[in-house]
Each structure stands twice: as C-alpha cells, then as structure tokens.
Chains A and B, each alone.
Chain A
Amino acid sequence: MKCQHCEKPATFHITELTEPSGPTVLHLCEEHARTFLSADGTATPASALASLLAKQLKMEKVAEDLAISDKKTCPICGISFADFRKGGRLGCAYDYVAFEDELEPLLVNIHGALAHTGKVPTNQSGSPERQHRLMQLKSEMKEAITREDYETASRLRDKISSIESDDESSWTDDALDEDVDDEDEEDDTFQAEPPIV
C-alpha cells in the first residue's frame, strides 16, 4: 500500500478517533507520519497517538517532543531526562515522579504494563514523595534557623518528626496542599509536582 501523500510505501496505518464523523484510517509513510504527528501539536489525542507510535518508531519521539522532555530535570538528584536517555540509568527514586510522563510509554513498551501487582513491603515509608517532602522540610528548617526564625524552625521540626514517625497522612498529597495553604507564607514554592525546568 502506498502513502496517501506520496509514492512511498505506507508503513504506518493510523486510526484517527477524534473526528466527529467517526474513525478515519490514514495510511502514511514514515516521513508523513512524523509530519502528521508534529502538526497536531500537544493536543491530548495526538500525544496519546504519539506514545502509541513511539513503539512503532522504535521509541524515537517526534523531535520537538523529545527536546522538551530532554530538558526536564529532577528537582532532587538534578539529572535531566536527556542524561537518563544517554546512560539508561535513573539518578534517584524521585525520577519516577519527575519523569512520569516520559517514562510511562517506555514502561508500557518494556513491560506491557503500568501497575505493580507483586510483593508489598510492610514498611512502606520509602515513597519518593515522602523523601522529597522530608528533604524540602529539612532545608526549610535550616533556612529558618539561619534567619533566627525559631518559631518556624520548631514547627518544621515537629512536622519532620511526624513524617519520620511514619504518619502517612502527614505527607500524602492532600496534606501537602493544606500545608502550603495554611502555613508558611514564605513557602509558596512547593508543588506536589516538581516544576519543569
């Protein structure tokens, strides 16, 4: 079968589900498949399609998407997604949170699954979000001590010890949002999701 737009053989057969008139089938060569994907920009159906096609394109994402992903950096260990792609190894557990969108298609490709169904440790305090929160609180406490704001420092110390005593409710996302709202006026930099640098 030939590509709909040129004489080359069609190697991509895409079923487009976004049309109001129902699914449309496209037969494209590799070059036109890439153009088709990048033209659709960042709209959700297109990105869903992109992740699907990433498999066919041997994990080569459309160049622009890749450039954006590559610049993402983990706020904890500091590696960028490009660093990971080069070495094939992640820098810390929080990378699974920081690069969630990028890793998802990769995990589907490798494992054909996205959810753990195996063993669960009895001690579940090793979540990367918890580690992230602890690190952040500790650095805030240090800062508070430096500027001699002992009241804030002692509040932060209590919070740290409450997290360290494995009180799960103290570091879940809901609790974190509340923390930001009701407490530290200076602390408006915390986001449940790390910032994209």
Chain B
Amino acid sequence: MRGHGPESDIVMSSRIRLARNLAEFPFIRKCTPKDRTAVATAVHRALDSLPLSADTEYVDVAKLGDLDRQFLMERQLISHELNESQGARAVILDPKERFSIMVNEEDHLRLQVMQSGLDLESAWKRMDQLDDQLESKLTYAFTKRLGYLTACPTNVGTGLRVSVMLHLPALVTTKQIDKVFRALNKINVAVRGLFGEGSQFMGDFYQISNQTTLGKSELGLVAKVQEVVPRLIEYERRARDFLVSESRQDLHDNVSRALGILCTAKKISSEETMHYLSKVRMGVNLGLIEDVKIPTVNKLFIHTQPAHLQKLCGRKLSVTDRNIERANYLQLHLSKRSENEKN
C-alpha cells in the first residue's frame, strides 16, 4: 500500500498466492510435530541453495512473540491462520515486502507476491519465477489430471488466488455495494475484507478474487479478475462523480468532519480510525482535502493498527493506552497546526 501504481486512487494492491504441498509429507492436519519440523527444514534447506536466499529472511514464527506475529499479520505478510496456529511454522520475508512464503499454513507452502496498484500480470510473472525456483529444489504433490494437490479441494488445480484490494467508499456511501457484490458472486468472483477470509469489511476496503482454481490456466484466472476490476473502478468513479455533482457540500462537510475528528480526538479505536481515514482518503482523491497526501493516509491505515502502534511506541499497551497513543499519532501526522505547535 505505497500509494502508487496504476489506478492507485482506488486500487490499493494486487496480490497473487499459490498453494503448494510437498509430496513426501501428509497434509497439515495429519502432520506430526516431527513432520511439521521436517517440512520447515526441507523448505529452509531448499531456499538456502537458491540465489534468492541472499536477500530473504527466514523467520521461525513459532518463536515469535504475540506482538511480532500480529505485526506481520497487519502488514499482510502472514495470514490469520499462521498467526493463530500451533507448532513449527515459518515465513520467508523479502526485505522489500514484494513477496512472502508461509510454511505450514493450511498447506505446506503458501507463496504470495504483492504489488502496489493494479498490475496482476507482472505479479503473476514474478510468482511464476518464484514458484519455478522453489520447484527446482522441492517435489510438489501433483497429478496431471487434478494439478497441484491441496489440503482443501477449493484450492486444487492451480492453487492460485488472484486478488485485488480496492477502496470503494463511494459505492458504500451510495449504498450500491451490495448490488455490485451480488453481481460479482454470480460470475464466481469472491469478495473478502481487508485481512482475507472471514475478516470484516474495514475502512471500505474490499478484496476481489477468483473463486475457482481448477479448469482454467493461471493466466486465464488472472484475466478473469483483471477483467472485473476496471468495471468496479468505473462504478466507484461514477458514484464519486454522483456524490460530487449532487451533494458536493454534504460530501465536503462529511470528509472535513472526518479529518477534524482524526486531528482532534484524544482517544480513538482502530475501527473508528479506519472508518474516518477512509473518508479522508476519498476527500483527498476528490480534491476536497488539500493539505494531506495519499501516501500519508495509506501509511496511517497500517501504522494505527494495534501491533504497529505498540511497535512504534516500543512497548506493550493496554487497549485504552493504545486508543490514546493512536489519537496522538494521528494528530501528529494529520494536523499541521499540531505539528507547528510541537515544533
């Protein structure tokens, strides 16, 4: 979410993931603790013999504390499942956060490639290369008929999930979002919240992704998601235009109040922050808020999450303390007045 790339006012990021399993081990639910360790060791060893290991970090997730795990989850480098589960598990991190590889998640391997803005094809290209490199050292469970075999039959075949994170505040405000999602479901495109399956729709962020993985090629699946996104962008733009032309003053009032709350609140929850930041983001993109930059807003979405906030403060904080620190942090970064006062 660095705030650049094609269509970055609406498309936050493009993400591609592959599910892979090692042929010589049972799937996760039947892995003994010894198996889990052996899978992690096999992957670690394979990685060490690859050129990409020079720039990556192998992180033993089981040894991380709660805060560090949650921090990685907030950055979407690990999933909720990897954060919560027990036993040997790991994540391989690219220092530039262009990709991460989870070990012993729902499948032995979950590879993901991230990209700012809308650029699925180049994300797939990088993923394909990453997968090729690992495959040269590991034997994946595969059959010609069903493709890559996965723990859940919903991922079998390509093991591919192509997703695009969209910011759709105007479709939410104009109450058209449900209609759009019903249409998407009909064409086998899934909609999820910010943190994937089962997560809440926070800050008007929606992840659009393919529902099926078998019977189409990887590029076919990429094309399917790619095809839907421009239409969603167009709907969101039309809804924004409608809001500007029909009720500019109300909209201006609404986004300015949101900024006002973020700049002046003394205690604020993560949820409330997301809610108002979303409005501010739309206000900035429509030219209604001038002195705040999109990269700042994007950064605040992440930095005001509980684990990030605690990392920034350098200590564990209670919920109340977090709400106070969050308000301080927002004030510091959003309000020029407060910056001047502090200086």
Q: Which of B1-9, B50-58, B214-222, B265-273 contacts A (4 or more CB under 8 A)?
A: B214-222
Residues of B within 8 A of A125 (CB): 23, 139
Minimum C-beta distance from B79 to chain A (A): 15
Q: Is A152 an interface residue (CB 8 A)?
A: no
Residues of A within 8 A of B213 (CB): 111
Residue among A77, A111, A115 having the largest count of chain B Cβ atoms under 10 Å: A111
Complex Cα distance A26/B22, Å?
Answer: 48
Residue among A103, A126, A131 having the largest count of chain B Cβ atoms under 10 Å: A126
Q: Is A58 an interface residue (CB 8 A)?
A: no
Q: Is B43 an interface residue (CB 8 A)?
A: no
Interface size of B by CB at 8 A reads 43
Complex Cα distance A79/B26, Å?
Answer: 11
Taking a contact as CB atoms under 8 Å apart, the answer to whether A89 and B28 are in contact is yes
Complex Cα distance A95/B153, Å?
Answer: 10
Residues of B within 8 A of A107 (CB): 146, 153, 156, 214
Q: Mark B8-34, 1 if CB is under 8 A from A, else 0.
A: 000000000000011110111110000
Complex Cα distance A119/B144, Å?
Answer: 10
Taking a contact as CB atoms under 8 Å apart, the answer to whether A116 and B158 are in contact is yes
Q: Which of B24, B139, B153, B215 contacts A106 (CB 8 A)?
A: B153
Q: Is B260 an interface residue (CB 8 A)?
A: no
Residues of B within 8 A of A88 (CB): 152
Complex Cα distance A113/B221, Å?
Answer: 13
Taking a contact as CB atoms under 8 Å apart, the answer to whether B158 and A120 are in contact is no
Q: Is A196 an interface residue (CB 8 A)?
A: no
Residues of B within 8 A of A111 (CB): 156-157, 212-215
Taking a contact as CB atoms under 8 Å apart, the answer to whether A76 and B214 are in contact is no
Taking a contact as CB atoms under 8 Å apart, the answer to whether A92 and B27 are in contact is yes
Q: Is A127 an interface residue (CB 8 A)?
A: yes
Minimum C-beta distance from A87 to chain B (A): 6
Q: Is B147 an interface residue (CB 8 A)?
A: yes
Complex Cα distance A118/B153, Å?
Answer: 16
Q: Is A114 an interface residue (CB 8 A)?
A: yes
Minimum C-beta distance from B302 to chain A (A): 31
Minimum C-beta distance from B181 to chain A (A): 19
Taking a contact as CB atoms under 8 Å apart, the answer to whether A89 and B29 are in contact is yes
Taking a contact as CB atoms under 8 Å apart, the answer to whether A128 and B141 are in contact is yes
Q: Is A12 an interface residue (CB 8 A)?
A: no
Taking a contact as CB atoms under 8 Å apart, the answer to whether A116 and B145 are in contact is yes
Complex Cα distance A131/B21, Å?
Answer: 13
Q: Mark A93-114, 1 if CB is under 8 A from B, else 0.
A: 1011000000100110011111
Residues of A within 8 A of B148 (CB): 116, 119
Residues of A within 8 A of B215 (CB): 111-117
Q: Is B135 an interface residue (CB 8 A)?
A: yes
Taking a contact as CB atoms under 8 Å apart, the answer to whether B140 and A121 are in contact is yes
Q: Is A14 an interface residue (CB 8 A)?
A: no
Q: Is B128 an interface residue (CB 8 A)?
A: yes
15 A-B pairs in the complex with CB atoms less than 8 angstroms apart: A89-B28, A91-B26, A96-B156, A110-B154, A111-B157, A114-B214, A115-B146, A115-B215, A117-B220, A118-B217, A120-B144, A122-B135, A126-B23, A128-B23, A131-B23
- Apart from A77-B30, A111-B212, list 11 A-B contacts with CB within 8 A: A77-B27, A93-B141, A96-B156, A116-B215, A118-B157, A118-B158, A118-B218, A120-B142, A125-B139, A126-B23, A126-B140
Chain B interface (Cβ < 8 Å from any Cβ of A): 21-24, 26-30, 106, 128, 131, 135-136, 139-149, 151-154, 156-158, 160, 188, 212-218, 220-221
Chain A interface (Cβ < 8 Å from any Cβ of B): 76-79, 87-93, 95-96, 103, 106-107, 110-131
